[in-house]
Every structure is written in structure tokens, then in C-alpha cells.
Amino acid sequence: MNNVTTATVSLGAVTIGLGILAWHLTKWWKGGGGPAGRDPKALIPLMTSMGLGMVAVTAAGGLIGTAATFLLNTGSMVGNWSLTAVTGTVTPEVTRSGLKALSPGGSALLVIYFVILVALWKSGAKLLKGKIAAGVICGVMLGLSAGFSGIASVALVTATNAVGDKITGVVL
């Protein structure tokens, strides 16, 4: 039985997620004048933790799903207030229809993914910790959106389910 999250995302949360992504991509692009250039490997911590956030927000419950939903609701509230205060615009919900659910194997892989990123967090430098935190927040804010990032999230959840089911031996 698949459980689908009931979380929704607002334009404010998507704006926060895109803002975080824009900030990090701009810093990466501007830092490209050094000897290493614009090395795509420098984006790995941000993108992998962003993937964790996108998958975590699709979890229907448990500690990970509840924490992701709390983070999303907080981001929606702050983002909505910010957009209204700065631009005077309304902040509609922009949740995509037909949410993809995690399978039991996908849920197991989410926990493994989470453990790996916590291990990286614990062993990493301050800069790495910041990229991991920013990526998770960004992924949570963008994972349920109706835009391009939401489409990427569907593909990521589908892959997580397929790999998790194969690794764990879950037959549905």
C-alpha cells in the first residue's frame, strides 16, 4: 500500500527554494575564475542533498516525512509573507497534481540516503554542512511544485522506488 503525502506547496516556498538554488549556482559560477574553473563536482553536495529533500517531502509520515512537511509549511509561511511584503502579490498554492508516492523499498532507500547524508554532515567541514543544509531545504521547497523542479522530483522518486525495491527485494 502506497501512502501519498498531503503536504502542499505555495509560491512563497517555491520562491525560497529557487532563491537558495540561485544563490548557490551564482556563487559557483562567479567562483569559476580560479584554477579549478567551474568544476561541476563542486555542486555534488548541494544537488545530492537537494535530491534528499525532494524525496523526503514525498514521504507520507514518519519522522522524515513529518520533519520535511514541517519545514515545507514553515517555508511556505515565511515565503508567503516575504512575497506579499516585498511585491504585494498573492501567493497561491502551486502543488502539482498526481503526487508520486514512495514504495516500501523506496522508503527504505530514503532512510539509507538520509543516513549517508548525516554521516557526511558529521564528518564534513563547515562549508560542506552549509551546502547540505541548503540543499535539503531547497529540495523540500521544490519537491512538490508544479514546475520543472516538481517534474524532476517525480523522476527522482520513481528512480528511488525502483532502486530501493531492487536492493531490498521488495516485490509489489
Res. 112: pLDDT tops 80: yes
How many Å apart are CA 164 and CA 137, to the nearest integer?
23
pLDDT digits (tens, 9 = 90+) for 59-87: 878 899 899 999 999 999 999 999 999 99
For residue 172, what pLDDT is reported? 65
Phi, psi angles (nearest 5°) of residue 127? -65, -45
Percentage of the chain beyond pLDDT 70 is 93
Res. 21: pLDDT tops 60: yes
Residues whose CB is less than 8 angstroms from the CB of residue 50 and which lie 6 or more positions away in sequence, other chains included? 21, 135, 136, 138, 139, 142
pLDDT at position 37: 64
Average confidence (pLDDT) over 52-60: 90
Mean pLDDT, range 104-118, rounded to an integer: 93
Q: What is the mean pLDDT of residues 15-35?
A: 85
Q: Which has the higher per-residue pLDDT, 35 or 161? A: 161
- Mean predicted lDDT score pLDDT of the chain: 88
pTM: 0.89
Q: Which helix (H) or strand (E) holds 98?
A: none
Contact 94, 145 (CB under 8 A): yes
Average pLDDT over residues 46-55: 94
